[in-house]
């Protein structure tokens, strides 16, 4: 095992600090319009999940490109995008903020949180009680007063 004098690292291998310095200098050269492979762009633009897995993948970026929301360049059969294109895609994907609606009858009255639905619940219960009382009563007759069958004379048919 050959050692570099004074470095304590095997010859031909970089130390961890050398690798980190190299990565930092590479990140300094990446601008908003630098073409990046989709997997690299996904790792740079989206943070990893708490379990360490990527929150966005090259596959996800390809799907967004197919939907027309991400600009992708295909060079020599490889897909590239930029951080600026990802920022634009994020603007296109952003959901519109919907203002929260109020359930109170008028916006002028100030009520304590949660109390606005209590009168509505009481009136709904009263309405249901009214329906239940109606269902308890016997239903009205649906046929006319005279329901006896009408008798007519029956003419027997002769046999052949």
Q: pLDDT tens digits, residue range 119-155?
A: 666 788 888 888 888 888 877 777 666 666 677 787 8
CA Rg, the chain, in Å? 39
Residue at 19 is within a domain:
no
In a domain, 44, yes or no: yes
For residue 75, what are the domain limits?
32-93
Which of the 8 DSSP states describes residue 48?
B
Kindly report, residue by residue over 20-59, the tens digit of the pLDDT.
556 666 778 889 999 999 999 999 999 999 999 999 999 9
Query: Is residue 36 in a domain?
Result: yes
CA atoms of 67 and 137, how far apart (whole Å): 60
> Is residue 83 situated within a structural domain?
yes
Question: Residue for token digits 């095997």?
Answer: 10
Total count of domains within the chain: 1
Q: Is the pTM of this model over 0.75?
A: no
CB 82 within 8 A of CB 37: no
Question: DSSP character for 142?
Answer: -
Q: For residue 61, is it within any domain?
A: yes
Within a domain: 89: yes
DSSP-derived secondary structure letter, 79: E
Predicted pLDDT of residue 9: 46
């Amino acid at each position: 095992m050959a050692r570099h004098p004074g470095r304590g690292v095997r010859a031909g291998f970089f130390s961890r600090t050398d690798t980190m310095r190299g990565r930092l200098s590479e990140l300094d050269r990446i601008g908003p319009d630098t073409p990046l492979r989709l997997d690299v762009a996904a790792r740079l633009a989206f943070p990893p999940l708490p379990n360490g897995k990527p929150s966005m993948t090259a596959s996800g970026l390809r799907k967004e490109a197919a939907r027309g929301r991400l600009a992708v360049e295909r060079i020599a059969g490889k897909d590239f995008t930029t951080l600026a294109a990802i920022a634009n895609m994020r603007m296109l994907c952003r959901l519109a903020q919907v203002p929260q609606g109020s359930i109170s009858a008028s916006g002028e009255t100030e009520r304590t949180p949660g109390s606005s639905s209590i009168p509505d619940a009481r009136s709904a219960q009263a309405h249901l009680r009214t329906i239940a009382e109606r269902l308890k009563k016997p239903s009205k007759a649906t046929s006319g007063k005279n329901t006896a069958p009408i008798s007519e004379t029956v003419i027997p048919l002769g046999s052949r």
